[in-house]
Structure 1
Amino acid sequence: MLSITKIFTFEAAHRISDYDGSCSQIHGHSYVLHVTVGGIDLKKDMLLDFKVLKKIVQDEVIQLFDHALLLKETEKNRIVFEKLEQKIFWMDEEPTAERMLLWIKDRIIPGLPSHVELESLTLYETATCYATWKS
């Protein structure tokens, strides 16, 4: 099997509202997302054009998360934050790196050509802290 990886970056803030610690406060990260796809069939000598992968991830993930405040959609969070004149992305779960990866996976897979499958995602919150999803 062959695989290719494209790396994306985005800036976002979040808070983990159901957490007893400093991460319950709004704070930001310079996220780095590694997207790896794989397959065995080459089309025009490529598994997938990097531009195609870039468009899928940009449209389905990056444009929504970049420079946004990521929050779990709760009644309390809505009351406190929805009046802010800021870009807010509401999630069903807490915006931890793990939950973000599961959400990203569900957004990317439907856009991939049938001969390509999502192999793994790695999301860095910092240079030394990351989460990985593998198929």
Structure 2
Amino acid sequence: MLSITKIFTFEAAHRISDHDGACSQLHGHSYSLHVTVSGDDLKKDMLLDFKDLKKIVQEEVIEVFDHALLLKESEKNLIDFEKIGQKIFWMPYEPTAERILLWMKDRIAPQLPSHVKLEGLTLYETATCYARWKD
């Protein structure tokens, strides 16, 4: 089994509104997303052109999250943030790194060619804190 990984970066703010700690405050991150795909079948001597992987992730994930405010769609958040006139991505759950990864998985995997499998995602919120999803 072969695998390739491409790294993406984006800036976003969020708050974990149902959390008791400091993360309940609005704050931002310089996220780093590592996308790993795998397979056995090489098409034209490569598993997948990095350019094609970039296009998928850019359209399905980065354009949605980059310079956005990520919020749980709750009554309080809607009252507090709905009218600020900024790019907001409303989620049905708290925008934790774990939940964001699962959302990304559901967007990226169906866009991949049939001979390529989404093997893993790693999302760094900081240089020392990350969440990982692995199939």
Cα deviation, 1:73-96, whole Å, max 9, x if unaligned, reads 111111110000110000111000
Q: Quote the offset at 1:21 in angstroms.
A: 1.0
Matching residue of 1:51: 51
Q: Quote the offset at 1:29 in angstroms.
A: 0.2
Matching residue of 1:24: 24
TM-score, normalization: structure 2? 0.99
Amino acid paired to 2:109 = I
Cα distance between partner residues in 1 of 2:93 and 2:100: 9
Cα distance between partner residues in 2 of 1:65 and 1:72: 14
Q: Quote the offset at 1:72 in angstroms.
A: 0.4
Cα deviation, 1:1-35, whole Å, max 9, x if unaligned, reads 00000000000000000100110000000000000
Cα distance between partner residues in 2 of 1:45 and 1:17: 48
Amino acid paired to 2:54 = K
RMSD of aligned Cα (Å):
0.4
Matching residue of 1:131: 131
Query: SS of the counterpart of 2:83?
Result: coil
Identity %: 81
Cα distance between partner residues in 2 of 1:91 and 1:57: 19
Correspondences of 1:72-83 after superposition (within 5 Å): 72-83=72-83
Cα distance between partner residues in 1 of 2:44 and 2:91: 38
Matching residue of 1:118: 118
| Structure 1 unaligned residues grouped into runs of 5+ | none
Cα distance between partner residues in 1 of 2:92 and 2:114: 28
Cα deviation, 1:85-110, whole Å, max 9, x if unaligned, reads 11000011100000000000000011
Matching residue of 1:68: 68
Cα distance between partner residues in 1 of 2:58 and 2:94: 22
Cα distance between partner residues in 2 of 1:51 and 1:42: 15
Matching residue of 2:106: 106
| Structure 2 unaligned residues grouped into runs of 5+ | none
Matching residue of 2:2: 2
Cα distance between partner residues in 1 of 2:46 and 2:54: 15
